[in-house]
Each structure stands twice: as structure tokens, then as C-alpha cells.
């Protein structure tokens, strides 16, 4: 899986920092590490502490996790045309017979009868995602124009909403609320323009931390839209840099382990970026609806109008909307 050379120190700890826990999990899933000793050595940990920490924090022993994920990868390879022997050797088995027996025990059917699904039940959300690598760069990159447009529109529209709200009397803005708009059962209520716009910014902060293996960002109860605007500017710059790097290397199918989840879970980068953009668009429309009572145009968030305005074109698009 990921060709990683990990450095660090594992002391006596029961709850490792997310970045350290992800290093341990990356060592488990590196395809070069076939034994527990190799996994622990790559993570600069003792065999005992490595096995105990991964088992406690991920709910699955390192060897069992690696075996399950490698079988999931083999199932995916079979579905995409690989032969039984080829998939078995890649998964670490020495013969087609040994691989077939292990596969049948895990999936309940031989490799030749595999259905559509390739994930196995797990005690956590860590699964195989093709092509199974995570590589991050801060080098200048060139981005697909469509991706760039979606990213910049999201950031620009959010910024415009926050700054419009900042120009209004705070007590008037917070007076306007809309019930039953919370998009997630785990997110706090988002009934006002402030809480809705805060969640757009916070979502990017949290997912950046997950992708980069950082700690969970603390909630930020801002007292004003001006403060929120400054935070958004800082987060937006980091978000644009990270997603541009993913697109530039064609890494949309890459997976990463989110050690901020309890238990840790694996995600595909494409699904995370789509998730952020989808719910940002939803929240922007909720905020726009609230702010329209103060004169904000309801059509202002349309990408057609935004692109034309960026190019300095006179737009008749609103006549068709």
C-alpha cells in the first residue's frame, strides 16, 4: 500500500495523537511489511507497544487488519480482471490454493464466485480504496480548469456571504433563523447565518486535519463576522493548495486513514472533496436565503454569473434563471 518511511517515537501512551496513530496504521497497511516485527520496526516502536496501541485504538489487531485489507485489495483486483494466482501473490500468499482457502473463509465463496462487493466486515471503518496510496506535496501545481472553477467558486461565494453579513448589524442578522436545516445528525444546529457559515469554514479545517494527520481543530465560537472572514481566508488558502495538489497528481482515488474518527476510518480523497463541496453549497444557499432579507441577491451564488463576472463580461444569464 503506502511506501512510507516513518519516523517518530512511541512512548507509554494509551491514546496516541492522531498523527502518531495514523503513522502506526500506515505501517500496518504498507505492503512491504508482512510481519508484526516489520510493521513495528517501520514505526520505530516495540512489537508489544505497537500491537497493543493499534489493537486498542483501531479495535483490530495489526496482523488481522493487514490480512483483511489485503484480501479486500485482492477482491478488487479480481473484479478488475486479475487472475487468482496474481491476486493471491500480491496479497502475500505463496500459492493459488492457499489464497483461495483464505479468500473462501473470509468471503464465504471462492474467488471465482465473488460478487460486486469487495469490502469485508470490520470493527472499524478502515478498508481498501484503490489505488491505496497517499502522497502530499506543497509544490506548485497545475489544476484541471473544472476543478479549479469549483474550488474558487466555493471559496469566493463563501467569502462574499461572510463579508455581506459583516456589513449588517449583528443583532439583526442573528434575529433571522430557519428551523430544521441541519444537514448532519452529528453537527450542531445551524439555524442562523453565523452558525451556517461557521460550519462551512470548520468543515474544511476538520478535513484538512484528517488528511494531513493533524489533531482535531478546536471549535471556534466567533463573536463577529469580521473574525470569521479572517479565519475563512486562512483556511481557504490551505484548502485550495491541498486539493490542487490532489488533482495535479491524479490522486482522486487515493485513500487516507482518518485517525480523528473513533475508531479510525479510511476515506477516498475524491469522496471527501465532493462531500465538502456538496455541503458547502447547501449551507451557502441556506445562508443566502437568510441574508436575502437584508437585500442580498438570491441569484448571486450561481456559477454562471460568477464566471462571467470574473471575466468582466456583461451577463444576460440572469434572464434565463
Specify the DSSP class assigned to residue 177. Answer: B
Nearest to 232 by CA among 276, 199, 196, 201: 201
Q: What is the mean pLDDT of each run of 10 residues along the chain (321 residues)?
A: 28 48 79 82 85 85 88 85 86 88 89 78 76 40 77 92 88 69 62 86 90 75 83 90 84 81 83 94 91 83 83 49 37
Examine residue 91 and say whether the peptide bond preceding it is cis (omega within 30 degrees of 0): no
Nearest to 81 by CA among 110, 102, 56, 111: 111
Strand partners, 268: 255
Domains of the chain: 18-113 (1.10.10.60), 145-320 (1.20.120.450)
What's residue 6's pLDDT? Answer: 24
Asked if 238 and 296 count as a contact pair (C-beta separation under 8 A), the reply is: no
What's residue 19's pLDDT? Answer: 63
What's residue 188's pLDDT? Answer: 61
C-alpha distance from residue 301 to each of 159, 164, 283 (Å): 11, 13, 12
Q: Within a 10 A sphere around the Cβ of 204, how many other Cβ atoms?
A: 24
Report the largest interatomic distance among the alpha carbons of the chain, rounded to a whole angstrom. 73
Asked if 197 and 305 count as a contact pair (C-beta separation under 8 A), the reply is: no
| First-to-final CA distance of the chain | 48
Q: Nine-digit cell at 287?
A: 445562508
Question: Rounded distance, CA 71 to CA 91, Å?
Answer: 6
Question: Rounded distance, CA 60 to CA 54, Å?
Answer: 7
Nearest to 161 by CA among 278, 289, 275: 289
What's residue 112's pLDDT? Answer: 83
Q: Within a 10 A sphere around the Cβ of 171, how many other Cβ atoms?
A: 7
Q: What is the pTM of this model?
A: 0.59
What's residue 133's pLDDT? Answer: 40
Amino acid at each position: 500500500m503506502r511506501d512510507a518511511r516513518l519516523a517518530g517515537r512511541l512512548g507509554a501512551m494509551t491514546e496516541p495523537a492522531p498523527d502518531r496513530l495514523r503513522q502506526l496504521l500506515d505501517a500496518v497497511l504498507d505492503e512491504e511489511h508482512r510481519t508484526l516485527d516489520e510493521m513495528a520496526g517501520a514505526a520505530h516502536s516495540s512489537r508489544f507497544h505497537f500491537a497493543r496501541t493499534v489493537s486498542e485504538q483501531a479495535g483490530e489487531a495489526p496482523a488481522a487488519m493487514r490480512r483483511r485489507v489485503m484480501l479486500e485489495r485482492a477482491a478488487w483486483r479480481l473484479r478488475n480482471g486479475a487472475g487468482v494466482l496474481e491476486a493471491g501473490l500480491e496479497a502475500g500468499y505463496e500459492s493459488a490454493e492457499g489464497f483461495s482457502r483464505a479468500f473462501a473463509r473470509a468471503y464465504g465463496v471462492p474467488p471465482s464466485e465473488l460478487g460486486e462487493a469487495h469490502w469485508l466486515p470490520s470493527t472499524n471503518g478502515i478498508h481498501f480504496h484503490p489505488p491505496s496510496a497517499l502522497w502530499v506535496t506543497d509544490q506548485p501545481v497545475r489544476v484541471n480548469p473544472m476543478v479549479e472553477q469549483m474550488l474558487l467558486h466555493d471559496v469566493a461565494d463563501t467569502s462574499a456571504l461572510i463579508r455581506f453579513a459583516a456589513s449588517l448589524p449583528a443583532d439583526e442578522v442573528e434575529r433571522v433563523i430557519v428551523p430544521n436545516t441541519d444537514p448532519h445528525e452529528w453537527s450542531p444546529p445551524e439555524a442562523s447565518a453565523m452558525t451556517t457559515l461557521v460550519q462551512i469554514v470548520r468543515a474544511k479545517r476538520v478535513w484538512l486535519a484528517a488528511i494531513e494527520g493533524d489533531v482535531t481543530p478546536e471549535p471556534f465560537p466567533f463573536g463577529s463576522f469580521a473574525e470569521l472572514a479572517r479565519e475563512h481566508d486562512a483556511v481557504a488558502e490551505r484548502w485550495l493548495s491541498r486539493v490542487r495538489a490532489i488533482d495535479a497528481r491524479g490522486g482522486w482515488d487515493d485513500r487516507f486513514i482518518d485517525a480523528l474518527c473513533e475508531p479510525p476510518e479510511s476515506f477516498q480523497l475524491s469522496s471527501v472533496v465532493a462531500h465538502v463541496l456538496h455541503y458547502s453549497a447547501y449551507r451557502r444557499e441556506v445562508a443566502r436565503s437568510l441574508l436575502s432579507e437584508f437585500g442580498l441577491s438570491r441569484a448571486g451564488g450561481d456559477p454562471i454569473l460568477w464566471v462571467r463576472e470574473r471575466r468582466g463580461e456583461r451577463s444576460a444569464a440572469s434572464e434565463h434563471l
